[in-house]
Amino acid sequence: MFLAVCTLLAIVLVVFSHLADTFWYMRFVFDTKWGFALAEGFPYTAPVWMGEFGQQEALLVRAHLVRSEGDSFNSGQKVVLRMRHADWFFLEEPHQLIRVLQAQSCQVQGDCVLDCTAQATVVAAYRPTQVGESLYMAELFSGGFAGWAQAAWVLHTSGLPISTRWTMDVDDDGIAMLQAQVPNLRVVQSFDDLEAVDAEAAEPMHVNADFNWQWWLHCFATHPVQIVAASPPSQPWNASESAAGLLAPDGQMLLRLADIAGAFEIPVGPLPERTSAEFVRLALQFPDGDVQLQVPNGSQPEQVLQWLGADIPLSSLPNDHQQRLGTLTIRLPQRPCIESNGDFSLNQSEAHLCTVATAVGTYIIDTASPRLWPQLLNVFDDLSGASEDLICYGLSGQRLWYAEDFRHCIIADTLERDGPPLSITFLAQAFPQTQLSREDLCVEICCPEHAATDFWLGFPFQMTEALGWKSEVINFPCQDHKAMSLRLRPDPTRIYLQPSSVQGQLRIWYVVSRLNMAQDLAEPEDRYAIEIQVVAQGIWQGQLPGTFQVNLLEEWWRDASKATALPPDVRVFSGPHPLWPDSSLEAVRAERQHRVVRKSGALLLTLHPACTGGGVKEENLNWSKTRLAALCLAKGIDLNATTSFVDAVAAAANNQRLWQALQTGTDEDKWQQVVTFAKTAQVQLPEGTNHVAKAELRARSTMQRRKQDLRAQITAAEVSLTPGFFKNEDGSDAAILEGLRPGVSGVLLADPKHAVELLRTMRGIQPDELALVVLGHNCPNPKECSQQLSFPAKGRNCGSQLLLAGCLHNLGGKKVSVAHQNNVTVDLPDVVYCTFTVHADECDAANWKAFSEYPVKTVVTAFADAGIDKVLSEPWGRRHLMKGKGTTPSLADQVSFHARVDQKACDTLLACSGHNLVYMIPRRQDHSLQPGYSVIWIGQSKAEALKAALQVPGQLGIVRAKNRYGIRVHEAKHDSTFQQLRPGQTMPSKVAVSHLFRLGPVPPSADATAVQAWATASNWKVKVLKALGPQHWLIGSEVEPPLAYPSFNGQTVLITQVQQRSTQQRIVQAGQLQQKPPPGLTKARPEPEIDPWLFQDPWSKAASFDSRSSVSSLSTSNAPRQLTGPTEARFQQQDSRLQALEAGMQELKKQQEQQHAQLVQTQAEDRDATQAAVTGLKEQLSALTTDLAAQLRVSTESLQTAQAQQQHQMQSGIDELKALFLTARDTRDTHKKPKLQEQKDDL
């Protein structure tokens, strides 16, 4: 255990309340809040008074008096420290704080000098953080017994890293006792002895000194400790000696002890990665997913892997996780599941670990560590709120009250402080009436209506959720007197209980519910402590009445087995002793020999279910035959040969060995073992064919074609637009129209064939929002199209959610837009879609096996020399081909797949293509070739292609097409490279073939070169592809031919366009339109529309009559009602009003159109006038600019002329001044010498 020693001294000081008056007289010898900060530029030199102290025996250091207030330090008076040479190491850091205890002070020439060389003076300083493996302790008042040292030894044996470094006492008689315990004990009796002791020595030391002396305090500086243990005389808490406490001189030593401990404070802190109780996350990956597991930080990897039952070597883990686990990902061969006994596997280790299953995740805790409670606290923090308590349960549903009861797996949950705990007692009466059914991994329990409430109240939903099983309750509360259903399904994102153990776990919960109910009904006076096990797994501890019979426990087990669809037979034992069914607990407890009683006094009852053969061998044999038949069919062996071969191998080989061989490994490894078994049993291997792969390819192609047809063939009548996707200008949702009516506003979906007429008739008739969405990729009017888009829709019959392709046309006065409130824009990487292909005829057997089984991994390894960190990403579309058609891997002669490649690394990888057995082809997203590259074909020899590649600098790899090889280069280098490799040859034409044509009949002697020359002379760029006969050729071009019936050497030929297979673009971008509506969406057949005239037509009730009808019957029939009088006048009045209103509307429309025309004309006139004004203003500005430029040019020329004249005048003046100065100097020299001579004469 590593401990970071940073700063501490621990001491416990107990002061009783009755000594409060004495406490205020406590006098501290050292004030630990004061320190010294070394000044810059030391050692300090003072030539005036240095001799008074002696420079040879001490050092002078300038320092500042520092006082600490909280976390800050305030500098005070400047002082000079006189220190010993032995304390020089304290001055290694010039800005650190040091403490001086009991220094002599004096004033020298106004400076305060502190003498630290006296024997009673102690100099202490903080040292850098140290990492050690033990805590050192000093024992004061040790005596001869050294009790604290003995206690330290006991703590050390319990795992606490602690040791005694030195002891101190004044009694000489105790030295012999100490030496008897520690033979190599070193005794220090004076300050000189202490200075002679090596500070790095590991041997213990005893200081024989009085506690009130000062020199022994140097031990804290030379031999620092982290813990001080003291047992001073006259302890205040020792009432037996009637000590006076702090009032006595011996008692006041405790105050001095506290003072000393405060002066040498050195805290000790643990390293967080070793002593922290936090959890780290392990991502456990397996073939079909991954789960999360929380383990204690710093756990031993080997212990955790053994607990999980994972046979993984430590060397497979990262180097920094092989000693202590941190956050990392571990790959496991299979999904980890919790077994019925709480273990992860049958070979789980017996480490002191425990799996804690919760609703939020799965944890592993260390039950033998003192960090158990902090780890549980962290689990509790992940689960609970502020007003909840942590509760733990065993797998059987019983609550655990003590940590000693933790087994391999427990369930943790939270409970409201005032809420009732989880109780499964309600299940006791309800579970016998339930029925369990199982389908794959799903378990469904049906409970009748009269027992549904008790079953719902008692079922442990919290425990199933913690064990990783989702629960779904159906029809509760029960409706229409139907049964309630409970479905349990494992959560694939969690570590869950093994599906095969769910029924057994339910059976245990049912039995425990009956036991809880029996305990609640038992009288308190007649109870016996009972412990119940199932085989060796404890499920219940409690008390049962003495009259409880063993057969009742067997009956409960059978009822629970019937409810869970498990075998019901069981026997009850007490340890190894069988019990009679009619035995009572009182009688069994009274026996002495034929029962087992735990140390706690609980009687042990063990349930042993019946163990019979369940046909495992037969199931394994059938499973082996199925897997072997699948392997044979995958190899292309027909059904009859597969059946005969499987039966022969199963009959001759060892079934157990065959079952084990087919369990693990790849399909190729399994087949090799089967081949070995067949050779050993002398069974002839059947020959494989390619029929299976062909049939699979045909079925896949048919399915894809059907899906494409479903995505392509769709009409507007089959779907409806999703509301909320199209928005009006004001942000409101646009209405979805089903048809056109006058004045309607919204969005209408139409087919392309109807869209042309709608676009012509609907434009300009609506001033508000009116838009037409045309279904499909063919826009009927691209010039007026608003945008191409993908829009959501819904199937009218099936209700399927779809995403369709179409275009939007705005036809109204206001525009309809698409909602983008949920749009998220991200930066996309610049990648290239590439195809990687490997041919079997270029590889040896080992390489081809690797490429065939692991194509992606082997291709990445092949490009390792390119120096790219990430060669490819997201591979897809792996195919095995034989002669260009799909086949099985064993019969394939070519394997290929697609992947994404970084654009920056594409050319680097292309340069290695073909040289490393892998051919790389860059493509566009539609699988066409990536532009920007050209290929120069060499021939049918790869050796020639490799030789030519060495001659071309900057080549981009070898290209293979069937049996031809070429060199890939950039398109800009194609011409120069072609002339380099094929000098003197005609360069092939570069034509982007977008149309295919059939040309013929041409003269029989015309070859491809002649056809190419004829097309070039006709000003038609073509590419001759192949001959279709002696007089017909297939040519390609990007433009139409200039003539349909041109002449070739005087012979008229016909050019006909060859129809190419066009890939119809998918209208359905996502989703699938079902042909039949689902059962839940099946609508009743709509009733036929009723003719309104059926009941309102006055002639509908007129009876038909023939020649036999009498006149009397006609006279009695009801005559039709006629509208006369005021009613007819009212109808006529309404009709006239409507006509007048229609005429007024037409007049108003006519006036509005006239006003609109006038407004448009006015706007045009205003626009022309404004344009004329702007043009005139521009002309005026242009003229003004020209005038200003001319004026500026004249001004500049005049200024330049004036400046030249001024410079000329200044130069003339300067020349005149120079001439004047020269004249004056000549005149002055003639009169200067006589004057100087006169002065000399005067002197």
Q: What is the pLDDT of residue 838?
A: 93
* 218/87 Cα distance (integer angstroms): 11
Is the per-residue pLDDT at 609 higher than 70?
yes
The tokens of 966 are what?
Answer: 């070429």
Q: Please give the CATH number for the structural domain made up of 499-612.
A: 3.10.20.90
Q: Could you write out the DSSP letters of every residue in 981-1050? A: HSTTSPPPP-----EEEEEEPPPTT--HHHHHHHHHHTT---EEEEESSSS-EEEEESS--S-SS-EETT
Cα separations in angstroms, 946 against 841, 937, 966, 1078: 16, 12, 9, 61
Residue 474 has pLDDT above 70, yes or no: yes
Q: Which tens digit of pLDDT belongs to each residue from 1064-1107?
A: 677 887 777 776 555 544 444 444 444 444 444 454 444 443 44
In the prediction, which pLDDT does 458 show? 86
776 backbone dihedrals φ, ψ, rounded to 5°: 110, 180
Q: Which CATH number fits domain 989-1082: 2.130.10.10, 3.40.50.740, 3.30.70.330, 3.60.20.10?
A: 3.30.70.330
Say what the pLDDT of residue 1095 is.
46
Eight-state DSSP code of residue 243: -
Q: Lowest mean pLDDT: which of 459-473, 646-660, 1092-1106?
A: 1092-1106
Give the per-residue pLDDT at 690: 61
Maximal CA-CA distance, the chain: 189
pLDDT at 41: 35
pLDDT tens-place string over residues 916-958: 889 999 988 777 788 888 888 888 888 888 888 888 888 889 9
Output the six-digit token pair for 451.
């027992």
Rounded to 10 deg, the angle between the 974-981 and 942-951 helix axes is: 110
CA distance linking residue 1000 with residue 628, whole number of Å: 58
Question: Could you tell me the sign of the dihedral formed by the alpha carbons of 974, 979, 982, 986, in that order?
Answer: positive
Question: Residue 617 and residue 630: Cα distance in Å, rounded?
Answer: 20
- What is the per-residue pLDDT across 479-488, written as a single tens digit (0 to 9) for each? 888 889 898 9
**Mean pLDDT in residue range 210-235:** 80
The H-assigned helical ranges of 172-213 are 174-181, 191-196
Instruction: Give pLDDT, residue 1118.
Output: 43
pLDDT tens, residue by residue, 952-964: 888 889 999 878 8
User: Which of the four CATH numbers 2.60.98.20, 3.40.1480.10, 3.40.50.150, 3.40.50.720 does domain 130-270 have?
Assistant: 3.40.50.150
| 59-91 tens-digit pLDDT | 787 887 876 665 556 667 788 888 877 676 666
Taking only the tens place, the pLDDT of each residue in 745-789 is: 888 899 888 888 888 878 777 778 888 899 888 888 888 888 888
Neighbours of 1131 (CB within 10 A): 11
Residues contacting residue 1004 through CB under 8 Å, at least 6 positions apart: 1030, 1031
pLDDT in the model for residue 18 = 26
Segment 856-876 shows an average pLDDT of: 85
For residue 68, what are its two tokens? 């600490």
Q: What percent of the chain has pLDDT over 90?
A: 3
DSSP state of 563: H
Contacts of 543 (CB under 8 A, 6+ apart): 519, 522, 527, 528, 529, 530
pLDDT for the residue 19: 26
What value does the mean pLDDT of the chain take? 77
| Mean pLDDT value of segment 295-301 | 81
pLDDT, residue 343, reads 79
Residue 1022 scores a pLDDT above 80: yes
The pLDDT value given to residue 959 = 92
For residue 1211, what are its two tokens? 């130069």
Tokens of 642: 């597969």
pLDDT of residue 27: 24
**C-alpha distances in Å from residue 335, one per residue of 494, 711, 814, 1019, 1043:** 10, 38, 59, 70, 71
- Domain segments of the chain as ranges: 31-125, 130-270, 274-414, 423-497, 499-612, 616-689, 707-818, 989-1082
pLDDT grade for 659, boundaries at 50, 70 and 90: confident
Instruction: Spell 193-218 as b/e; 16+ CB within 10 A means b.
Output: ebeebeeeeeebbbbbbebeebbbbb
Reported as a single tens digit per residue, the pLDDT across 828-840 is 888 888 999 999 9
Q: Which fold has domain 31-125?
A: OB fold (Dihydrolipoamide Acetyltransferase, E2P) (2.40.50)
Q: Measure the N-to-C terminal CA separation of the chain; round to a whole number of Å.
A: 105
**Arithmetic mean of pLDDT, 394-420:** 83
pLDDT for the residue 692: 62
Query: pLDDT confidence of 1228, banded at 50, 70, 90?
Result: low
Q: pLDDT tens for residues 17-53?
A: 222 222 222 222 233 334 444 443 333 333 223 333 4
Segment 1204-1231 mean pLDDT? 79
Q: Residue 634 above 80 pLDDT?
A: no
Q: Which of 551-560, 818-827, 1135-1144 has the lowest mean pLDDT?
A: 818-827
pTM: 0.37
